[in-house]
Amino acid sequence: MNKTIADIAQMAGVSKSTVSRFLNGGSVSLDTKRKIEKVVKATGYVPNTFAQSLKAKRTNIIGTVVPRLDSFATSHTLMGIDEELRSQHYQMLISNTSQDVKREIEAIYEFARQKISGIILLAAQITDDHLTAIQDISIPVLLVGQQHEQIHSLIHDDYRAGYDIGAYVLSQGHREIAYVGVTERDVAVGVQRKEGFRQAVRDALPAGCYTDEEMRAAGYDIRYYETGFKMSDARIAASAILDQFKPSLMVCATDNIALGVINAAYSKGITIPSDLSVTGFGGYDITEVIHPALTTVQYPYMEAGRVAAQNIVRLVEHKTVEPVTVMDYSLIERESVDKR
Amino acid sequence: MNKTIADIAQMAGVSKSTVSRFLNGGSVSLDTKRKIEKVVKATGYVPNTFAQSLKAKRTNIIGTVVPRLDSFATSHTLMGIDEELRSQHYQMLISNTSQDVKREIEAIYEFARQKISGIILLAAQITDDHLTAIQDISIPVLLVGQQHEQIHSLIHDDYRAGYDIGAYVLSQGHREIAYVGVTERDVAVGVQRKEGFRQAVRDALPAGCYTDEEMRAAGYDIRYYETGFKMSDARIAASAILDQFKPSLMVCATDNIALGVINAAYSKGITIPSDLSVTGFGGYDITEVIHPALTTVQYPYMEAGRVAAQNIVRLVEHKTVEPVTVMDYSLIERESVDKR
DNA sequence: CTGAAAGCGCTTACAG
DNA sequence: CTGAAAGCGCTTACAG
């Protein structure tokens, strides 16, 4: 395991330069090629990564910054990235920031220091500090899950998904709906999904029906709430909502929130879906196995990871990439929504 | 970002050696120390990792080999490892093997090639190839979740946990029990949990009651089954079991399996816990929020990760570590077990 | 305490 | 196509 390029050169009876050229696909005569190949195979020689990187000033490593590790979306995206990167002979390095924006910035600089070739950034929001860091390091960055005009982005089609969920539940006859969203600082989850949904409602309303009163007169009562990303937060929020409003359906901005809502409903003796229908966003595995199974939007996280990996590699290799890549999704109708 | 040690030396009016010594805590006079410190701060100098590693022939990186990323146990263990490593100024590198044993072996060699300082191995089973690889690389390895006499190990107390679950469900009056386990090739999950449970049953039996017939005469009917780790597999297995055996309780070797069982029960119109009680192992977040909440054994995965990190760092630094570290657990009684 | 020098294992112009 | 040489940015005996 400890052979150096000098050993190989000596054993093959050529110079180090030639071996290096052979390794990196430079021009080498067929004859020497064979000689070196034999020695490399026999010795199991592998070049020292550090020496390579020190000279070449770059690595075959893609750094991925993630806000958390214990999330279905993150882990599946990571698996997709890892798989694709591996097939392209790149390595994935993960930096977990535990939802700490300061650590996100640090991670970006730290990756730069380590001469990482490219960075995939899974972030809930992009601040000026992010922008500054990305500018500073002059390394390709791909944003996943959010969109920003100054950064190559890969997103899920949150707006359309929100619209589809809205159109679907309306088509099932629901008119009294609580939309349980998250902070608008997360544009994808907090704004896009909600606005998509809101637009679906608008499109369903009779013409000229805009104000809350007009909506109510038309039989619609749609209210918007905000909670955190954690199931426990959602449970508490849902409990409070249900004390003051009796919707026939709750649209939740994530599957986790939906799970919290379902739990809160059970605690109050509310049966799903006959008393209360529920929908989510995400398509986590667990949503299929609970009872009743959750109607939700399924995002192709693993596939998104693969595409993200392809894009960042293209960026690293100075090939063109669309400013924004939009992934598809599917609406999965299961048991948690009743007809009204 | 591009200063080298030579620049710093020049700016501080000392030699490169002295700067290096300062950086690595060697003996430097207070005066020079101050001079160098000032320059380092002013320039924001950070040493080039590759050059360091190339010379020093070691890194501050700990490699972690994981069979999968999308598991509660894995992700929480990783978070604990990462957190602790970070605080000790080590970095964590993750290699996901997608449950492919061959890739586990490759990952070990690859880490060695990259001069990683130590390896934390989360593996379901240890083969001869693992042993050979670990021998070959001569880098400290810590095994997490499984125990092996030739490798420093950190385990959860699966046997005692199995015993406790057994004693608990017996104390609740259950006598007709299906134990739904996994392959015995996974010693921790497949053997230890089951044998702990089996011993609890033995200890509860009247003296001199050994054979199946004697057990049945004493009112006990305990049957053992095996399934896969996936919810979907467990669902199918449970469905088949319930067609031929009507236990009052099913003890599942993992929370995932329990989730599959619960789903199968619902599909058959079996109510939990009144018709059928269920228990799991793991303590995944989701088990608390489903209805009814799952009675299970909770393992401190995050804490285990932290301890694992401490241990591997001690190993790397040639300090002593116990051959086996055993983590504690807690039995969480919730709603999925009825009294009989 | 401090510095000059060698060397870690590669790659890359530059000649030939 | 091939080789000698310089150099990437550090660290580490070795002198002083």
Residue whose C-alpha is closest to residue A242's, from A217, A267, A259: A267
| Contact, A32 CB vs strand D, < 7 Å | yes
pLDDT higher than threshold 80 for residue A218: yes
Residue A87, judged by CB atoms within 10 A of its CB (0-12, 13-18, 19+), counts as: exposed
Residues B149 and B167 placed together within one structural domain of the fold: no
Chain A residues touching residue B68 (CB < 8 angstroms): 79
| Residue A53 resides in a domain | no
pLDDT of A207 reads: 83
Please state which of the ranges A30-39, A100-109, B163-172 shows the lowest mean pLDDT. A30-39
Q: Averaged over B326-340, what is the pLDDT?
A: 97
Q: Please identify which residue in the block is written with the tokens 């300082």.
A: B117
Question: Would you say A75 and A81 are in contact if contact means Cβ atoms under 8 Å apart?
Answer: no
Q: Which of A76, A96, A286 sits opposite B82 (nearest CB)?
A: A96
Residue B296 pairs with which residues in a beta bridge?
B280, B332
Q: How do residues A250-264 score in pLDDT, each as one tens digit?
A: 999 999 999 999 999
pLDDT higher than threshold 60 for residue B1: no
Q: How do residues A44-75 score in pLDDT, each as one tens digit?
A: 888 888 888 888 777 889 999 999 999 999 99
Residues A242 and A290 placed together within one structural domain of the fold: yes
pLDDT of B119 reads: 96
Confidence of residue B208 (pLDDT cuts 50, 70, 90): confident
pLDDT higher than threshold 80 for residue B58: no
Chain B residues touching residue A262 (CB < 8 angstroms): 289, 291
Q: Averaged over B278-283, what is the pLDDT?
A: 98
Please state which of the ranges A77-91, B44-58, B123-137, B212-226 shows the lowest mean pLDDT. B44-58
Residues B236 and B202 placed together within one structural domain of the fold: yes
Distance (Å) from CA A32 to C1' C9? 21
Residues A193 and A307 placed together within one structural domain of the fold: no
pLDDT higher than threshold 80 for residue B26: no
Q: Is B330 on the interface with A (CB under 8 A)?
A: no
Coil/strand/helix, residue A213: helix
Q: Averaged over B43-49, what is the pLDDT?
A: 85
Find the domain containing B26 and state its range: 5-34
pLDDT of B257 reads: 97
Q: Please identify which residue in the block is written with the tokens 């993630």.
A: A66
| Residue B236 resides in a domain | yes
pLDDT of B138 reads: 82
| Residue A337 resides in a domain | no
Both structure tokens of B226: 């095996």
pLDDT higher than threshold 70 for residue A228: yes
| Residue B296 resides in a domain | yes
CA-based nearest distance A52→chain B, Å: 9
Residues A169 and A71 placed together within one structural domain of the fold: no
Residue whose C-alpha is closest to residue A165's, from A73, A292, A255, A76: A255
Q: Averaged over B262-278, what is the pLDDT?
A: 97
| Residue B278 resides in a domain | yes
Rounded CA separation A111/A12 (Å): 37
pLDDT higher than threshold 90 for residue B89: no
Confidence of residue B171 (pLDDT cuts 50, 70, 90): very high
pLDDT of B174 reads: 98
Q: Averaged over B11-28, what is the pLDDT?
A: 88
Residues B294 and B308 placed together within one structural domain of the fold: no
Strand nucleotide closest to residue B6 (CA to C1') = D9
Residues B72 and B182 placed together within one structural domain of the fold: no
Q: Is B326 on the interface with A (CB under 8 A)?
A: no
pLDDT higher than threshold 60 for residue B175: yes
Distance (Å) from CA B4 to C1' D10? 9
Residues B95 and B187 placed together within one structural domain of the fold: no
Rounded CA separation B58/A191 (Å): 47
Choice between B217 and B182, residue whose per-residue pLDDT is larger:
B182
CATH number, domain of B250, equals 3.40.50.2300
pLDDT of B272 reads: 97
pLDDT of A267 reads: 94
Q: Tell me how many domains chain B contains.
A: 3
Find all residues with CB under 8 Å of A294, minimum gap 6, and list them. Answer: A255, A258, A259, A262, A278, A279, A280, A287, A288, A334, A335, A336
| Residue B337 resides in a domain | no
Please state which of the ranges A144-153, A326-335, B19-28, B72-81 shows the lowest mean pLDDT. B19-28
pLDDT of B144 reads: 98
Distance (Å) from CA A337 to C1' C6? 75
pLDDT above 90: percentage of residues in chain B: 76
Residues A122 and A236 placed together within one structural domain of the fold: no
| Residue B335 resides in a domain | no
Residues B29 and B162 placed together within one structural domain of the fold: no
pLDDT of A1 reads: 54
Both structure tokens of B176: 């007709």
Residues B81 and B151 placed together within one structural domain of the fold: yes
Residues B185 and B289 placed together within one structural domain of the fold: yes
